[in-house]
């Protein structure tokens, strides 16, 4: 790992120097001059703006959080989306400007995308889930033809060990909940440590595949935001589509997803055993992500509840629920279900 790739909490992850003038000058440097104001889109890890350029076209500019990814990790994400587009999988991929997709200006790295528009995908019926499964299957069929060299892998060390270390150092976990929180966080971590990922094949993934990262336009589902692309088991890009607490209902939803998925890509049904461990990974990692970014005022404005007692009380309950679920058998596919 080179110095550019090292990720430590001591690095400057801030956007304090990213002024409107700097953004406009950065865009002008690649020949995309804004003719409208910059509309900040719903992104916290990076800074993302929509605008109309002087050519009359609508674009989206993404300024990467400093020091989070190396250049190679970002470019590997760009190449992946370009592969998908070449195979007619509907994704948003960066524009090539000046023969490159990643640009630098004023100490920041940025990328320009076409703005495709569209609306968020709402949680739908089983037909909708089957359709989503087909799209993920198409994505994975291409993803399996290559590998990542620089992007990270879904792993216990990052999602659990490092996340819990961050939470131990965070002043945001109330003193009066420390005992209760760690009384469940530690046994849950030990349970997750014992999960064996080795029997399952891994592949390139979207990495953060949920409904908010899909847009519906002209009846086409388009994937956006590959910022968390990484290597891992296929189920990582499927489980977040399952909704509700009813076990049987989630099994039926999964069957609908896989039914569509397998029109384009084979699914290893044994991977259902990883759904709840991966959910636990995400819950723990999300808390640590907020803790690491709390000095960014954008996070304090967007997630004020993170510093409140009731949030941490709820997290104690959530971790207890996850620990209990991990003791149960995984949900099964419903091979005889007709939808």
In this prediction, residue 12 carries a pLDDT of 56
Backbone angles phi, psi at 47, to 5 degrees: -115, 125
In this prediction, residue 96 carries a pLDDT of 97
Alpha-carbon dihedral sign for residues 324, 328, 330, 334: negative
Mean pLDDT, all residues of the chain: 92
In this prediction, residue 281 carries a pLDDT of 98
Active site residue 228: no
Question: Which residues, 6+ apart, have CB-to-CB distance to 332 below 8 Å?
Answer: 251, 272
Catalytic residue among 4, 127, 208, 227: 208
Average of pLDDT values for 315-334? Answer: 92
**How sure is the predictor about 339, in pLDDT bands with cuts at 50, 70 and 90?**
very low
> Token match 């990270």: residue?
152
In this prediction, residue 123 carries a pLDDT of 73
In angstroms, the CA 198 to CA 302 distance is 38
Look at residues 182, 223, 197 and name the one whose alpha carbon lies nearest to residue 312. Answer: 182
Q: Check pLDDT > 50 for residue 322.
A: yes
Quick: pLDDT tens for 185-241.
999 999 999 999 999 999 999 999 999 899 987 778 999 999 999 999 999 999 999
In this prediction, residue 335 carries a pLDDT of 55
Q: Check pLDDT > 90 for residue 10.
A: no
Quick: pLDDT tens for 13-43.
679 899 999 999 999 999 999 999 999 998 8
Number of helical H runs and strand E runs in the chain = 10, 10
In this prediction, residue 7 carries a pLDDT of 36
In angstroms, the CA 130 to CA 128 distance is 5
In this prediction, residue 14 carries a pLDDT of 79
In this prediction, residue 333 carries a pLDDT of 79
Least confident of 57-71, 110-124, 307-321: 110-124
Quick: pLDDT tens for 113-166.
999 888 888 776 888 899 999 999 999 999 999 999 999 999 999 999 999 999
Average of pLDDT values for 251-278? Answer: 96
Catalytic residue among 225, 227, 237, 255: 225
In this prediction, residue 11 carries a pLDDT of 46
In this prediction, residue 232 carries a pLDDT of 98
In this prediction, residue 338 carries a pLDDT of 42
β-bridge pairing 58-63 and 108-114: antiparallel
**How sure is the predictor about 48, in pLDDT bands with cuts at 50, 70 and 90?**
very high
In this prediction, residue 293 carries a pLDDT of 95
Active site residue 208: yes
């Amino acid at each position: 790992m080179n110095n550019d790739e090292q990720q430590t909490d001591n690095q400057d992850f801030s956007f304090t120097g990213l002024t409107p003038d700097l953004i406009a000058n950065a865009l002008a440097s690649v020949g995309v001059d804004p003719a409208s104001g910059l509309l900040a889109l719903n992104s916290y890890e990076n800074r993302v703006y929509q605008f109309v350029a002087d050519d009359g076209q609508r674009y989206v500019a993404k300024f990467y959080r400093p020091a989070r990814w190396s250049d190679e990790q970002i470019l590997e994400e760009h190449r992946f989306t370009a592969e998908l587009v070449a195979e007619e999988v509907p994704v948003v991929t960066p524009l090539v400007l000046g023969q490159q997709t990643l640009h630098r200006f004023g100490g920041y790295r940025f990328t320009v995308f076409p703005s495709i528009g569209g609306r968020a995908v709402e949680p739908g019926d089983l037909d909708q889930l089957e359709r989503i499964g087909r799209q993920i299957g198409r994505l994975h069929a291409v993803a399996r033809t290559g590998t990542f060299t620089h992007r990270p892998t879904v792993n216990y060390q990052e999602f659990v060990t490092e996340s819990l270390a961050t939470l131990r150092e965070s002043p945001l976990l109330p003193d009066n909940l420390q005992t209760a929180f760690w009384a469940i966080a530690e046994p849950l971590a030990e349970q997750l440590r014992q999960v064996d990922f080795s029997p399952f094949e891994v592949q390139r993934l979207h990495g953060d595949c949920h409904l908010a990262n899909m847009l519906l336009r002209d009846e086409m589902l388009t994937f956006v935001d590959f910022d968390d692309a990484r290597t891992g088991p296929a189920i990582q890009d499927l489980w977040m589509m399952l909704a509700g607490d009813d076990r049987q209902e989630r099994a039926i939803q999964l069957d609908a997803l896989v039914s569509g998925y397998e029109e384009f890509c084979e699914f290893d049904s044994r991977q259902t055993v990883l759904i709840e461990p991966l959910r636990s990974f995400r819950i723990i990692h999300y808390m640590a992500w907020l803790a690491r970014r709390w000095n960014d005022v954008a996070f304090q404005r967007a997630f004020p509840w993170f510093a409140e007692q009731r949030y941490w009380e709820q997290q104690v309950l959530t971790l207890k629920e996850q620990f209990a679920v991990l003791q149960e058998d995984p949900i099964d596919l419903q091979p005889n279900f007709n939808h």
